[in-house]
A = this chain, B = another copy of it.
Amino acid sequence: MGKIAIGQAGGPTAVFNSSLAGFIEDVEEEVYFVFGGYEGLVMNHIKKASPDDLARVQAARGVPGAMLGSGRYPFDENGINEALKHLKQHGIDTLVFAGGDGTMAALQRLEETAADEGAPLNVIGIPKTVDNDLGATDHAPGFGSAARFVASTVRDVSRDLQAMKNFEQVRVLETMGRNAGWLAQASLHAGRWPQDGPQYIGVPERAMHLGDVLAAVERGLQSFGTATVVVSEGAAFQSGEQVERSHVNGRVVLGGISSLVKEKIEQHLGVTARAELLGMQQRSASSLISQQDEREAYDAGRLAAQWAQEGLSGQMVALERRESGTYHVDLVPKALTDVVNAGERKLPEAFIEEPEQYRRWLTPIIGGPLSDYPAPLKRSEGNVIHKN
């Protein structure tokens, strides 16, 4: 019997802990917890999981955050060596980490370096991302719940806005997503009624033209007296750069494009607009977890445990969707090399051009369509556009 260590890295999701619970469920070997992501490996924050620890983790399905602690950490060569030293000290022969592209690259380097040093370490990756920018998989656990949050919130906030059209007419909502538009585009799933969804969606994959944004907003104003705009944090105007909100520990945090779009709309259309970030709830809202996403997260964790015990290495649990019939994903091993080489996974052209295609792709992942809202009421006299 070997010893397996597990850790979590990167920004958490609402179902990050479900993968951890799934892992615990199917592991029979001795389990070690790595606290605080890769930093925990380097700092030797590694400990044998107690029965009480294991019980808490099993109770954490659908609990947001990361029970083991996660975080961001620059993993240099020195760090790699320290990590391997500590794993060896504990007699750990298999390392499982849940995370995104950076995590998969780190696992790969650990495996390579360990092999070079003649002290092999088996590594298995569990995918995790709310941005859905991880390659070599149909999608990754965490994204479905974040997408459900975005769709539901855009619908609710749009209903709220429609009620306030004599006070404010436009809301610009900014989503996460880094350099990929998956999350922002998920807002087209907001509802059956056009005024429940966004009139315009800005994604990083396609530069925004101010004229298009203004035209879409004006159509919304004409039809409903209001307009909702959704922009991905990485979206930019044709003429401009991505907006950087801040640098945190050397990492660029994107954000603020919504304020810029709001200003342009107010300036050109003479209406009252409000910009809001959807915020950290996108990746942590327990109330809008997609049940499908949660199951997939859990199953990915279980499978990682099985593979680890079977001696598989250098693989990530990937989700492969069957081409036809009702939705079904197979969990299959993908080489970490392929995952890393795939690079940042962007929203495909087809999903921008044909929203209906994206909608079909997305519906099962977000746990099915949102509950139905009745059609908004309308006065017969047509619509009044309120301007300042």
Contacts and interface: CB of A to CB of B under 8 A. Distances in A.
Contact of A249 (B33, B272, B374): B272
B248 A272 contact: yes
Contacts of A248: 167-168, 272
Contact of A285 (B37, B63, B287): B287
16 contacts: A12-B163, A14-B156, A45-B381, A63-B374, A65-B156, A65-B160, A66-B163, A67-B374, A67-B376, A67-B377, A69-B163, A71-B165, A72-B167, A157-B280, A279-B279, A285-B287
Given A71-B167, A163-B12, A287 B152 contact: yes
A357 to B, nearest CB: 27
Interface stretch (A22-30, A53-61, A116-124): A53-61
Interface of A: 8, 11-12, 14, 16, 33, 35-37, 39, 45, 47, 53, 55-57, 59-60, 63-73, 152-153, 156-157, 159-168, 171, 248-249, 251, 272, 274, 276-281, 283-288, 371, 373-377, 379-381, 388
Nearest to A276: B279
A196 to B, nearest CB: 10
A164 B11 contact: yes
Q: Considering the complex of A and B, which 5 residue pairs feature the smallest CB-CB distances, nearest first? A: A65-B159, A66-B163, A71-B166, A160-B284, A59-B374
Given A56-B375, A64-B156, A164 B71 contact: yes
Nearest to A68: B377
A58 B157 CA distance: 21
